[in-house]
A = this chain, B = another copy of it.
Amino acid sequence: MYRGGYTGKVLRVDLSTLTAKEETLPPDVARDYIGGAGFGIKYLFDEVGGNIDPLGAENKIIFSLGPFTGTTVPCASRMAVTAKSPLTGAVGMALTGGQFPTELKRAGYDALIIEGKAKVPTYLSIRDGEVRFKSAAGLWGMNTLDCQRVIKDDLSDQNIRVACIGPAGENLSRISSIINEMRAAGRKGLGAVMGSKNLKAIAVRGTGSVPVASSDKLKAAKGEMARAMKESPALYPAFSKTGTPSNVDNTCALGIFPAKNWTATGEFAPAREIGVEAMKTRNAGREFCSGCPVGCSQLNLARTGLYSGILAEGPEFETMYSFGGETGVDNVDAIIAADRLSDELGLDTISAGVAIGFAMELYEKGILTRGDTGGLDLKFGSHESMVILLQLMAHRQGFGDLLADGVMAAARKIGRGTEKYAMHVKGLELPAYDVRGAKAHGLNYATSYTGADHNRGYAFQEIFGIPVPYAVNRFAAEGKGKLTKWNQDVRCATADCPTMCVFILDMAVPHMARENTAALMAAVTGNEYTPDEVEKVGERINNLALAFNVREGFTRADDTLPDRLMDEPLRHGASKGNVITRDDLALMLDEYYTARGWDRDTGIPGREKLEGLGLGYVADRLGR
């Protein structure tokens, strides 16, 4: 049945009973959901009921791989991690790369479902199907890099790969991440889900191989992909040498690099201080995910003051924003240090930076004082305070505790009308790209099933001018509904599910992402899809994820943006004067729901729509 790509096995681990069992991956699930995010969301919707506590034993966390992972398809060592998010209450799904995904696949699994809660700190060791539960008593409190090192020694195997949480996840920070190597399943507080289950780490070693259905077809599909990558208009070859930080320069030029908690976009635009040329002076090599020929991940070494010698894998562009623009910090070494520290502590860099930027705005406005901050000077640009604050947040010490659950929770605790300064959608802190100058981004942030998430339907058309599926005007509201649906569905089907690096198919060669995914699927798994069928997988999963959120109570009213983005036009730079008015948003949402075939008043799909996607059982469950 599993002609290739899939192992056909799901490993289900119950931490409450310390038992593990293998299950069969249903072939129709493999076909209809492809893998990765598809599997994660399918199992999440089916198995995790409404209104459970995301930090309770009833939540589950699913690590799922794509059919290409572990094969010779390049750039496919990716993994989706899915749970009900403790940050948003919605679907929490984040992807990570590196080496761990390939290792897990080669250990024999398409997915790992973890349920229940261990009585004491525990880590999981998986070795080619042999599952062991090990004490994590000594590991508790350890940072993520030390944890990985110590586990390798503990298991006397330097070749294992480890995904783990840091102090932030242990302390149930709702903005905590899961780290493998120096990569993160960063957003939506998935680290806290592991922490709530007393699960410090998962160690994996796999020596199996993943068969493919047709070597000849695979060779052809890979050739096609490689040719297209070489001709990519936007990203190659410079991308392998600069990685994502080149986007600092780009977005500063476009006037959409958000600054000082989104109050100074276009005004504070430190491309010279923290852009590509600045980063080149810090470069210390690059890292490659398993099977990747690109190696976009830059190693950077801080070189001034007390930051000297601190190494980060990154910062990526989003982190340049969150610890740079958002906080008004233009000290590149402080950003490197904050990035490294966040990885060690297991904090999401985006949410953590936005939380700090939020606190800085309140401090500058006098809403928070030095008395509140425990003596920390939190003016915009205070990089030393930023670095200290990260530690306080992860350990929930002093003032850090207030910010450890993100801006929505912090604003609720502080009260006094501070919610309007809390830059989030559905609880998820805003990523970079000031949407006032890039409106499809705004619509995507408003509608992504995970909250404000650039990765669920990134509008590269607005940033790189790539006319796929058609050219767009970034300042216009019109036409963004259909575009956003396309971006979300295609991203899901060609990147999040297969699981393929977004920088390859989805962004480098978007004009052939659907076709190439179909060709690779046929070659690797033997399952045949038309390009439209590929896209429909993405649509199916976006509908299923939305259904999960509907069950949690989310409606059209939650598909919105922070007031600031609708009330305060940009005052500086190349996007000056632009704003997403409430009318703009309403228009875009109407367009979007129409494109999706959802009810425009509620933003919810009806039975007919769901049945058309093979999701009749979902309509039943929702009682529609």
Chain A interfacial positions (CB closer than 8 Å to B):
138-139, 141-143, 145-146, 149-150, 152-154, 158-159, 166-167, 283-285, 287-288, 299, 301, 303, 305-306, 308-311, 344-345, 388, 391, 394-395, 397
Contact = CB atoms under 8 A, between A and B. Distances in A.
A142 B311 CA distance: 7
A299 B143 CA distance: 13
A92 to B, nearest CB: 24
Nearest to A152: B158
A468 to B, nearest CB: 34
19 contacts: A138-B283, A139-B284, A139-B285, A141-B309, A142-B284, A142-B301, A142-B309, A145-B149, A150-B284, A150-B299, A153-B288, A154-B285, A159-B159, A167-B309, A305-B397, A306-B388, A308-B391, A309-B344, A309-B395
A308 to B, nearest CB: 5
A306 B345 CA distance: 12
A166 B308 CA distance: 12
Contact of A167 (B145, B146, B154, B308): B308
A18 to B, nearest CB: 21
B285 A150 contact: yes
Contacts of A142: 284, 301, 309, 311
Contacts of A309: 141-143, 166-167, 344-345, 391, 394-395
Nearest to A153: B287
A280 to B, nearest CB: 12
A420 B311 CA distance: 40
A285 B138 contact: yes
Contacts of A167: 308-309
A308 B395 contact: yes
A99 to B, nearest CB: 9
A152 B160 CA distance: 13
A397 to B, nearest CB: 7
Given A150-B299, A306-B388, A308-B391, 20 more contacts: A138-B283, A138-B284, A138-B285, A138-B299, A139-B284, A141-B284, A141-B303, A142-B311, A143-B309, A143-B311, A146-B311, A150-B284, A150-B285, A158-B159, A166-B309, A305-B397, A306-B391, A309-B344, A309-B345, A309-B395
A345 B139 CA distance: 24
A158 B159 CA distance: 6
Counting chain B CB atoms within 10 Å of each CB, which of A306, A311, A397 scores highest? Answer: A311
Contacts of A306: 388, 391
A308 B141 contact: yes
Top 4 closest pairs, chain A to chain B, by CB:
A138-B285, A158-B158, A138-B284, A146-B311
A391 B309 CA distance: 9
Contacts of A138: 283-285, 299
Contacts of A299: 138, 150
A397 B307 CA distance: 12
A143 B309 CA distance: 6
A383 to B, nearest CB: 16
Contacts of A345: 309
